[in-house]
Amino acid sequence: MKDEILLVQKAKNGDNKAFGDLYDYYLPKIYRFIFLKIGGRKQDAEDISHHVFTQAWENMSKFEFQGFPFGSWLYRIASNAVIDYYRTFKNHFDIDETAQETLARDSGFENRIDTAFDIELAKTAISKLEHDQQNVVIMKFIDELSTKEIAQALGKTEGAIRVIQHRALKQIKSHIDASRNNPTIKEA
């Protein structure tokens, strides 16, 4: 992001307009990350996203630049917020069901995507991954962060991120292959 360091510095000094600019740039990425992490529950994704940016704004004075984008810090807050979300709603949540409900509700989303079936398949495959694998896949291939940024956001080494990424893609492939060979597996 252009002028990110300057904007962050201004926001640290209480400049809400500067924080508004950071919000505009990062909200779609953070929202997408949360949306996919919680299986596409739109309302909850909005609530968590709002909470993440409120937390960030309230704690701006604690943020220190360490050679990584401001977004790494936001992803870390978002990741923790999702963990808290699962702790709270663990027993009242069906990931596949809610993903389909969301697609049905958000008709515009399907219209924008030509291959809706494949998208749905990819979403389901992501939901089957482990927590760290989901983080890496979303950050790397959907939000297009660098391996270095992901490592910073998740508090892991770049080598560990590559290993997680490799295993995640392998697992997604096996899930997609199985779904194509047996379409009923998607609903399972």
Partner 1 sequence: MHQEIIQQLKKLNAIEPDAEFVRRSRNHIVSMKNEPAFAFPSFSFFPRLSLVGAFVFAGLLLAIFYPFSFSSNQTFSALSAKAINREFDNLSINMQLNEIKFDQNAHQTIAAAIMEITDMKTQHLSSQILESENVGMTIDETGNQIDELLNQVIN
28-33-34 Cα angle (round to 5): 100
Give residues 156-185 in contact with partner 1 (rule: CB under 8 A): 169, 172-173, 176
The DSSP secondary structure of 68-81, one letter per residue, reads S-HHHHHHHHHHHH
Taking the complex as a whole, how short is the minimal distance between the CB of residue 2 and partner 1, in angstroms? 19
Q: Please, what is the minimum distance in Å from the beta carbon of residue 92 to partner 1?
A: 22
Task: Out of 3, 13, 88, 159, point to the residue binding partner 1 (CB under 8 A).
Answer: 13
Q: Measured from the CB atom, is 50 or 131 closer to partner 1?
A: 50
> Other C-beta atoms within 10 Å of 51: how many?
16
Number of residues binding to partner 1, judged by CB under 8 A: 46
CB of 155 to partner 1, least distance (A): 23
Q: What does the alpha-carbon distance between residue 80 and residue 78 come to, in Å, rounded to a whole number?
A: 5
Please enumerate in sequence order all residues whose Cβ is within 8 A of that of 14, keeping only pairs 6 or more positions apart, or say none.
60
CB of 82 to partner 1, least distance (A): 15
Structure tokens belonging to residue 136:
């890496």
Nearest to 78 by CA among 53, 99, 115, 60: 53
Return the CA Rg of the chain: 17
Which residue number, 69 or 143, has a Cβ lying nearer to partner 1?
A: 143
Span 78-137, contacts to partner 1 by CB under 8 A: 109, 112-113, 115, 118-119, 121-123, 126, 137
Task: For the CB of residue 98, give the shortest distance to partner 1 in the complex, in Å.
Answer: 14
Site for partner 1 in 42-71 (CB under 8 A): 42, 45-46, 49-50, 53-54, 57-58, 60-62
Cα–Cα–Cα angle for 113, 22, 45, rounded to 5 degrees: 45
Give which of 139, 105, 84 is closest to 148, Cα–Cα. Answer: 139
Q: Which residues bind partner 1 (CB under 8 A)?
A: 12-14, 16-17, 19-20, 23-24, 27-28, 31-32, 35-36, 42, 45-46, 49-50, 53-54, 57-58, 60-62, 109, 112-113, 115, 118-119, 121-123, 126, 137, 141-144, 169, 172-173, 176
